[in-house]
Structure 1
């Protein structure tokens, strides 16, 4: 009887060890704090755990695994399995997706941002470039058009951008540079300190980031309609980790993307709805730029930036024109579908 009980105990322990070994646990590197920008990451972790009965879980870390500008490097060496990064942090490493950061692309809604981003992510040349970093593009982090906050007199004339020190990355930085601005690409987590210390005069962010990183608390004004463009921030997974998933786990991950994005869009929509009340509460002036000034900005920044980007990509043997055309086509098709 004792031998039977011992055998049963050994079998139970072995089963428990096997079950524990079979569980998949991923570490996910993001930054800042939980906010509208990370809601789809939180949601996909929740959905994957539900669909696999807890056999596949994700630990979302806000800055504990890596600095924002080093997340892609971390993915490349397998330091963690999933991460979020912004293309403008290292445009030399993700050249092709920077097409989505060109100024004045004409993307008007978050839904359009999702459509053009995922179309670009699916392009074979883009996937090949990201594979050099052992990264598989999973989903975008759609953000509305960026706008400025600043102190002192509002900058609502193009001449007032000359010499303006602005926190702006990627294509946005180039747009402000074209009109005399002096862009700096400090990480989002350092933007408040840069503003407080006078390192920058203005900060370009989407609404959630002005809230999350506190720049709205130092602002005296906000440009409601400058809308020069936005930043593209993908969520990627380590290819080796992705390939090591079971068929069920992979299906749970891939099959949760659309639902996670839908949750993100709903959540962000609620933030945009209450934005005016946030400005009023904090005493921030809402500045409307005249159409004449906006057109001057577009004329100076948009076409030259597009042409230069396409020429630079083509000179490197990359399909710059094809990707720009893909963005334009996807925008038209998305609008027709709506």
Structure 2
């Protein structure tokens, strides 16, 4: 009898160890604090754990694993399995997706931003460039068109941008520079200090970031309708870690992406609904830019588009093809 029990116990222990060995724990590197910009990653972690019965978990870290400008490097060496980053932080490492950061592309809402981002992510040239960093694009972090908050007199004309020191990255920064502003690419976490100390006069962010990083707390005004473009911030996974997943866990992860994006969009919509009252509460004036001034900026952005295409081609990327894809997908999304 003892022999039988011992055999059964050994079998149970073996099964327990095998089950434990199959459990997968991933780390995801983000920055700042939990906010609208990170809700899809939080939802993804929740869904993966729930649908795997706890056998596949993702621990979300805000700055504990890496600097926000080094998340792609961390992915490349396998320091963590998942990360979020913004293309404008290191344009030389992710040139292809910067097509999505060009000013005045014509994106009108977050649904369109999701559609065009994922279409570009699926392009073979984009996947190949990311693979150089052992990274695979999983999903976007859709953000509304950026707008400015600033101190002093509102900047609402093209002429008023002359000499303006603005925190703006990527194509938005290039657009402001083209009309005489002085862009700086300090990270989102540094924007508040830069504005408070007078290093910059204004900051270009989406609404959630103005809230999360405190720039709204020290601003005098906000441009309601400038809408020059946005920044593209994907969530990526380490290719080796992704390939090492079981078929079941990989399917769970892939299938959770759409649900996570849907949750993100619902959550962001709620934030936008309360935006007007937030401005009033914080004493920030809502200012509008005359459509004629916006038209001047949009017209001036066209050479920036052409320069992007030429530089992409020079770097071995199909620049015209990626640009045409982005424009076509935006038109398609608007048609839908």
TM-score by length of 2: 0.98
Map 1:272-291 onto structure 2 (within 5 A). 272-291=272-291
User: What secondary structure is seen at the aligned counterpart in 2 of 1:256?
Assistant: helix
User: Could you tell me how far 1:10 is from its partner in structure 2?
Assistant: 3.0
User: Could you tell me how far 1:3 is from its partner in structure 2?
Assistant: 3.7
Q: Distance in 2 between matches of 1:209 and 1:308?
A: 29
Partner of 1:257: 257
User: Could you tell me how far 1:9 is from its partner in structure 2?
Assistant: 3.1
Which ranges in structure 1 are unaligned for 5 or more consecutive residues? Answer: none
Any idea what the Cα deviations from partners look like across 1:147-182, whole Å, max 9, x if unmatched?
A: 011111111121221111111111111111111111
Partner of 1:316: 315
Partner of 1:118: 118
Any idea what the Cα deviations from partners look like across 1:177-229, whole Å, max 9, x if unmatched?
A: 11111111111111111111111111100000000111100111001111110
User: Could you tell me how far 1:16 is from its partner in structure 2?
Assistant: 1.8
User: Could you tell me how far 1:8 is from its partner in structure 2?
Assistant: 3.2
Map 1:181-330 onto structure 2 (within 5 A). 181-300=181-300, 302-330=301-329
Partner of 1:47: 47
Partner of 2:83: 83
Any idea what the Cα deviations from partners look like across 1:122-169, whole Å, max 9, x if unmatched?
A: 000000000000000000000000001111111112122111111111
Q: Distance in 1 between matches of 2:182 and 2:17?
A: 58
Runs (4+) of structure 1 exceeding 4 A deviation are: none
RMSD: 1.0
User: What secondary structure is seen at the aligned counterpart in 2 of 1:70?
Assistant: helix
Any idea what the Cα deviations from partners look like across 1:266-287, whole Å, max 9, x if unmatched?
A: 0001111110010011110001
Q: Distance in 2 between matches of 1:69 and 1:184?
A: 15
User: Could you tell me how far 1:71 is from its partner in structure 2?
Assistant: 0.2
Partner of 1:154: 154
Partner of 1:92: 92
Map 1:7-18 onto structure 2 (within 5 A). 7-18=7-18
Q: Distance in 2 between matches of 1:198 and 1:9?
A: 69
User: Could you tell me how far 1:14 is from its partner in structure 2?
Assistant: 2.4
Q: Distance in 1 between matches of 2:5 and 2:51?
A: 35
Worse-matched range after superposition: 327-336 or 97-106? 327-336
Q: Distance in 2 between matches of 1:326 and 1:68?
A: 29
Q: Distance in 2 between matches of 1:90 and 1:240?
A: 23
Which ranges in structure 2 are unaligned for 5 or more consecutive residues? Answer: none
Q: Distance in 2 between matches of 1:318 and 1:304?
A: 19
TM-score by length of 1: 0.97
User: What secondary structure is seen at the aligned counterpart in 2 of 1:229?
Assistant: coil
Worse-matched range after superposition: 22-31 or 308-317? 308-317
Q: Distance in 2 between matches of 1:326 and 1:170?
A: 19
User: What secondary structure is seen at the aligned counterpart in 1 of 2:216?
Assistant: helix
User: Could you tell me how far 1:20 is from its partner in structure 2?
Assistant: 1.1
Q: Distance in 1 between matches of 2:60 and 2:23?
A: 17
User: Could you tell me how far 1:6 is from its partner in structure 2?
Assistant: 3.5
Q: Distance in 2 between matches of 1:20 and 1:124?
A: 37
